Structure 1
Amino acid sequence: MSESRDESTAPGAATGTKPDGADQDRNGHRATRQPPRVRMSRRGWTVVVSGVLIVVFGLIGAFVRVPYVAIGPGPTYDTLGQVDGAQVVEIDGQQTYPTAGELRMTTVSLNDEISLFGALGLWVSGRYALAPREEYFRPGESDEQVQQENVQQFQDSQSNAEVAALRHLGFPIKVLAQTIVEDTPASKVLAAGDRLLNVNGRTITNEDDVTAAVADTTPGQTVPITFQHGTDPARTEQITLAANPDPDKKNGFMGLQPIDRADVPFEVKISLQDVGGPSAGLMFALAIVDRLTPGEMVAGEHVAGTGEITEKGVVGPIGGISFKVVAAREAGATVFLTPEANCAEASAAAPDGLQLVKVTDLNSALSALDALKAGQPTPSC
């Protein structure tokens, strides 16, 4: 007879054992063994969550832009020298004279659209300060609009510097109609760029004469205006003044904005790219005077400075002077021409070895440079 054996009672095997390591159910079928469930400890969860947070924070810090700008020392340029092979201040058609030393204009560096980590890095460096973006960019204003405005301010500073310098040197000045307001009395007879010669019987020698000529008029009054369009002969027209759009002003209104410009047979060209703002006016004016004047204005000294300038040579305050004095000293300057209104801020930030000279207008700046050359005291901050 044949014998029937199941695997549980096979010879040499103990009852209830599982020689191949597999579980069996009660009917003798094999059952797969389930691995033990791994439970993560609280410490493990902490490590995982911390890692995720670090990654998220890293992405935010690296890529998310903060609503701040970083301001620091910018490049400086010698207005008596060259930049990229081109003379910064060049005068064609008029005798010029050799110069020595430096008249260095200063700038600030503005970093926009910076990340959180970038902002922190710039701030920690100690060379930059953070400021709310809206202090430099108006809401809704594009980067292109800001750039265009800065370029326009820079061009205006060059024009003002030219007029101030040439007026100081005794060259004639002419007054132009810079802008004409549409649908005003002036728009009926004048075009932008026309030269103003006489308004209401007053000879026009500077832009203030235009304002003074209509100061005692009334709306509806007819006044004569003599002007020249391009190279055409001068002519006189009658205009009837309108009511002033400023409710606080009762005099008649013409609707034009005059501006002083040099009336010279030569050309002053200022070549400097990628710079904006009005603060280089003083240094441009000094460079023009130096190029057109015999002798050495700075006598080999390394002079830097800043300051907005009007057509009449008045020097006004500017922003970022605490960074400009640092940039000037790093560029080798030992003297810094400082607008009077900026003296306190400049004094608090001026590095060792930089003498701050207080200036109020072009004449005071020229007098200070003469005193420095002669070894005499200068007005200081």
Structure 2
Amino acid sequence: MPRRTATMLASTLMLIALLCAGVLIPVPYSEMSPGPTVNTLGEHGGEPVLQVSGRTTYPATGNLNMTTVRVTGADYRMNLFEAVYGWLSHDDAVVPHSTLYPDGQTAEQATQENAEEFSQSQESAKVAALKELDVPVTARVVVASVVKGSPAQGRLHAGDVIKSVDGKRVEEPADVAKLVTEHKPGERVEFTLVPAKAAAAAEKAGKPEPRTTRSVSVTTKKAPDDSRAIVGIQAGPDHTFPFKIDIKLADVGGPSAGLMFALGIVDKLTPGDLTGGAFVAGTGTIDDKGKVGPIGGIQMKTVGARNKGAEYFLTPKDNCATAARDVPGGLTLVKVDTIGDAVKALEDIRKENTADLPRCTTG
């Protein structure tokens, strides 16, 4: 075989081998890309995203779109070619697989965690919106979950309202852990509570929370990772609202839509339009006090929002510097730190006082 032919054949075989390797060899990366956006003032899947009953609502025009990021699944293994393509793409991002799925998290675990975070974000959005409108909301501390096989299993139940621990009144979920860890492993903790069934029945009937309580003693044990005393529960907040607010949005997870849900609720419950008919999108977690928190994938969300037609993007303060490095043309990034900031920004947009908007910068 002539040397030239042999060299070409060897090169061709090597190229084929490299192509096969690029397709067959998985790499430890995942991809993030712009996901769908949904107008919280509109409909999704044929029904309103926000549904309020028992309170006067007002028609709202314009857009207050929540934004999402599309990610490859926990079980998906990207190959080298896909990773390189993602790295070269302007609108996508390739990140280590462990960034999206830490500690070997499975697809089922990721889905469950996202669902829980989404549910909590809805609760916090309702609380923050009503507080912004000075509508009273009753708060209480409940047993959010009980660890299987823990001392609390069978003695405490999800939904039990915790009134006190060792006779000391509980005001915040963190109070429960603080009081339990004042004990040594093996000591007993006394919980005073309203049983979940009684609390749920009263709420369903629109009656005040029952005054009758019961006491439950639970013996603590040593935490698996240190010497703390634990009983095996997760305490969390629960709220009683003066009217019903439902958020209907399937196939979405995580906490990042909290701000936009809260603004949608405020708009529905106040006369006129918060946006003045403008197309506003945004993102951000929100807590019960109306504080806006940062999220992941900010640059994918701004791209998705602009592709949909957004003119303004409400951006968590702590995401501003990253988002401002690559702003889609025609999109104004507005910095917000609280729901109050966001409402004020929407007022400026409505009144066309856009020079007064707090804008994101790279500095």
Q: With structure 2 as the length reference, what TM-score do the two structures score? A: 0.80
The answer as to whether partners of 2:40 and 2:65 remain within 8 angstroms in 1 is: yes
Question: Is 1:334 matched with 2:311?
Answer: yes
What are the ranges of 5 or more consecutive residues in structure 1 without an aligned counterpart? 1-39
Q: How does 1:300-339 map to 2 (within 5 A)?
A: 300-339=277-316
The equivalent residue for 1:277 is: 254
Alignment-mate amino acid for residue 194 of structure 2: F
Question: Is 1:380 matched with 2:346?
Answer: no
User: 2:9 is paired with a residue of what secondary structure?
Assistant: helix
Measured on the aligned residues, the alpha-carbon RMSD in Å equals 3.1
Question: Is 1:80 matched with 2:41?
Answer: yes
Q: Give the 3 Å change call, closer, same or farther, for CA 183–341 of structure 1 in structure 2.
A: same
The equivalent residue for 1:230 is: 197
Give the deviation of 1:179 after TM superposition: 2.1
What are the ranges of 5 or more consecutive residues in structure 2 without an aligned counterpart? 200-209
The equivalent residue for 2:87 is: 123
Alignment-mate amino acid for residue 358 of structure 2: P
Identity over aligned pairs, percent: 39
Give the deviation of 1:336 after TM superposition: 1.2
Number of residue pairs aligned between Structure 1 and Structure 2: 339
The equivalent residue for 1:171 is: 137
Question: Is 1:105 matched with 2:82?
Answer: no
Question: Is 1:148 matched with 2:88?
Answer: no
Alignment-mate amino acid for residue 309 of structure 1: I
The CA deviation string for residues 25-84 of structure 1, in whole angstroms up to 9 with x for no partner, is xxxxxxxxxxxxxxx210111122222223333333334433222222222111111122
Q: Give the 3 Å change call, closer, same or farther, for CA 222–76 of structure 1 in structure 2.
A: closer
The answer as to whether partners of 1:171 and 1:262 remain within 8 angstroms in 2 is: yes
The answer as to whether partners of 1:163 and 1:260 remain within 8 angstroms in 2 is: no
User: 2:102 is paired with a residue of what secondary structure?
Assistant: coil
Of 121, 127, 131, which aligns to 1:157? 121
Give the deviation of 1:300 after TM superposition: 0.9
The equivalent residue for 1:65 is: 26
- Provide the rounded CA distance (Å) in 2 between the counterparts of 1:380 and 1:160: 26
- Provide the rounded CA distance (Å) in 1 between the counterparts of 2:30 and 2:191: 52
- Provide the rounded CA distance (Å) in 1 between the counterparts of 2:8 and 2:120: 60
The answer as to whether partners of 2:33 and 2:69 remain within 8 angstroms in 1 is: yes
Q: Give the 3 Å change call, closer, same or farther, for CA 132–224 of structure 1 in structure 2.
A: closer
Give the deviation of 1:292 after TM superposition: 2.4
User: 2:95 is paired with a residue of what secondary structure?
Assistant: strand
The answer as to whether partners of 1:97 and 1:291 remain within 8 angstroms in 2 is: yes
Question: Is 1:54 matched with 2:18?
Answer: no
> Which structure has the greater CA radius of gyration?
1
Tell which has more relative contact order, 1 or 2 (C-alpha 8 A, sep 6+): 2
